[in-house]
Amino acid sequence: MNITVTLLAQVIAFIALIWFVNKVLWGPLSKLMEERQKRIADGLAAAEKGKKEQELAEKKALQAISEAKQQAAEIIAQAQKRGNEIVEEAKETARAEAERIVAAANAEIEQEVNRAKEHLRKEVAELALAGASKVLKREIDAKAHKDLLNDLAAQI
The residues binding other proteins (CB under 8 A) are 1-11, 13-18, 20-22, 24-30, 32-33, 35-36, 39
What's the min distance (Å) between Cβ of 42 and other proteins? 13
Query: Nearest 5°: CA angle at 10, between 9 and 12?
Result: 65
Cβ of residue 49: shortest distance to other proteins, in angstroms?
A: 21
With respect to other proteins, which residue has the nearer C-beta, 30 or 70? Answer: 30
Q: Indicate the burial class of 121 (C-beta count within 10 angstroms; 0-12, 13-18, 19 or more).
A: middle
Contact between 152 and 125 under an 8 Å Cβ cutoff? The reply is: yes
Question: Residue 79 CA to chain centroid, in angstroms?
Answer: 7
Closer CB to other proteins, residue 2 or residue 155?
2
Which is nearer to other proteins, 8 or 86 (by Cβ)?
Answer: 8
